[in-house]
Structure 1
Amino acid sequence: MRSRILGIFGGKYSRKHFAKVVAILSKHSEALGFSRFQRPYRTTTSGCVAEDIIKIQFEHWQRPKIFEDTKPFLQSVRGLTTLILSNIDTKDIHEAIRYHDIHFNDVITSEDFKSYKPNPELFKEALLRYNLDPIEVIHIGDSILSDVCGAQNVGIKTIWLNRPNEKSLRHKSGLHM
């Protein structure tokens, strides 16, 4: 059960959010009709140990692989204000930055605002902190929904970093981005 929950949340929700869901489900498992969720039940139906899967996910957030062009790009924009806006926990983002020895002016996370992209709070906070108008900013992101739509909804121009070569929403739904 825990591994299925992790799969649902993926990297889009915080460690605290995931731990809270697990605690709630553990506390109310009998009433919800799945008594096997108790602590001794640590393996999934596939035989995997849920804690091992969770550890792998947290390590991925703190030590993610970066693309070979990431550091050269960041060097090329040195001198410009660069921020990370992320739905991953603050501690995990700072650990990843430290691990890769990369630099940003600021980090704003959903954990700070209890709101996830594409909601406007993170984008608006970045504009407010640096006294910027949306027309002065470009947001680069890999998620059409969280990054592109979220930034565009507050008037920020966007670049969709489409590494897996996905079809845009225009192709999926007729929307024009």
Structure 2
Amino acid sequence: MYLFDAKVTESLKEYIFQSALATLSIFLVLVFLDVLEHTALIAKLGASVFIIFVMPKSYISRPRQVLGEYGIGIICGITCYFLMFVLSRNVSVIPDKVFIVGFGSLAVGVAIFLMAVINLEHPPAVGIALGLVLNQWNHRTIIFIVFALILLLVLKRFLEPVLIDLI
């Protein structure tokens, strides 16, 4: 077992460059998305930035995986959020916390099932389903997340010739 990756000595410049690129990318996301209001949603993007720039050649950092899985996560999260909202208003004997926990769990479970069935692997996007049930959001939040992902993938595509898998 080693403390440092064996490739560090021969690829130190790439490690620094790709880490700086990931830092700049998430900085831009944080500047444009309200950091205090959407913390759970931003955390998912941070994990995606790691995968996109640390493992750029891997299967899970491909556009189909990233956008497809976020799409499923967003659809499951929005659907469960609205189901929770409607049912919690009509069933007053069940505490709100039970609805939130139940529909948050359902959003994750359905998203995982659909992602496995459709063969989409990008783990951070599963959390977006949960984040949309647990947190406040609006249509601009969803649009921004999709735009941020597209921007990250375009940047990755443009720099792909110089990016390497760091792990």
Q: Smaller-chain TM-score range?
A: under 0.3
Normalising to structure 2: TM-score of the pair? 0.28
Answer 1 or 2: higher relative contact order, Cα 8 Å, separation at least 6.
2
- Answer 1 or 2: which has greater helix percent: 2
- Answer 1 or 2: which has greater strand percent: 1
